Structure 1
């Protein structure tokens, strides 16, 4: 349980343009590739992702992707079988990235150095062949390491999971 008070659940829906951008970020596309594909500027991508984070109550692109999956705003990836199990350290690393924890917050929580925290993230990205941290989150969902049970974000926001109709 976090020591800081939690914020109310995020409820603001993203615009269709923001959802297109978030989906492409989740797929591991670079900012430049997304801008080129959608015929918009890199600056527009960055501003839209910042607005996504504000609407969802999270910080960082990886947390935006995770929040979009939890809230059902972008399509969740298909489940893929992993060739081998993941260690508790790898799962903890995945969860820290998904919740938007900074490298220092991750290091403090795991009681390791900031450099060790960064090395853990790099090693996990390499192991699962993730393009970047948002793509790492998508692969975490695909491998069923991450799911809608992870709702408390590093920002203090608690995400609201949509109820089935």
Structure 2
């Protein structure tokens, strides 16, 4: 008998050319997320704004090493890996207030939306390339081009802008780590 704690996932219909993080393996069950400490929330907010480790350390008067450790702890508590995934998970779960929606700088192509989703779920450039059936170099080119188009300071800031423009939302819950996030009520 299968382990009832595992959630069986099936790929849902999707637009051609869009990144679907659903994998062939069973997803991890939705976790009971641990609350982030107030300092971790402050750090996550600064990361979501596109600030560098150095700038965050200066703003919060703590060391860069402390920032790195706290970001890793945020990821562990949320079941994700990487700063972009931490930001997305914080928005999905309501740990950070979701950005106010604004109009986008034009329509986004299916390729751009696919790229945005891959960054948000914490996919590595290689795993994104494999899923999209493109080279790693092409995956990196797409990420860089999208960042430049929307003037994102870095990948976590790109995630925030995805939420701002309505490209990303709480429906994207299966992370590259295998964690399935439990979306908070709209905040």
TM-score of Structure 1 vs Structure 2, range by shorter chain: over 0.9
Larger fraction in helix: 1
Which of structures 1 and 2 has the bigger CA Rg?
2
Question: Matched residue of 1:159: which SS?
Answer: coil
Q: How does 1:1-165 map to 2 (within 5 A)?
A: 1-10=22-31, 11-163=33-185
TM-score by length of 2: 0.86
Q: Which structure 1 residue ranges, 5 or more long, are not aligned?
A: none
CA–CA separation in structure 2 for the residues paired with 1:83 and 1:66: 21
Larger fraction in strand: 1
CA–CA separation in structure 1 for the residues paired with 2:177 and 2:149: 27
Write out the 4+ residue segments of structure 1 that deviate beyond 6 Å after TM superposition: none
TM-score by length of 1: 0.97
Question: Matched residue of 2:152: which SS?
Answer: coil
- Aligned-pair CA distance for 1:8: 2.1
Flag the structure with more relative contact order, 1 or 2, with Cα contacts below 8 A and sequence separation at least 6: 1
RMSD: 0.9
Q: Which structure 2 residue ranges, 5 or more long, are not aligned?
A: 1-21
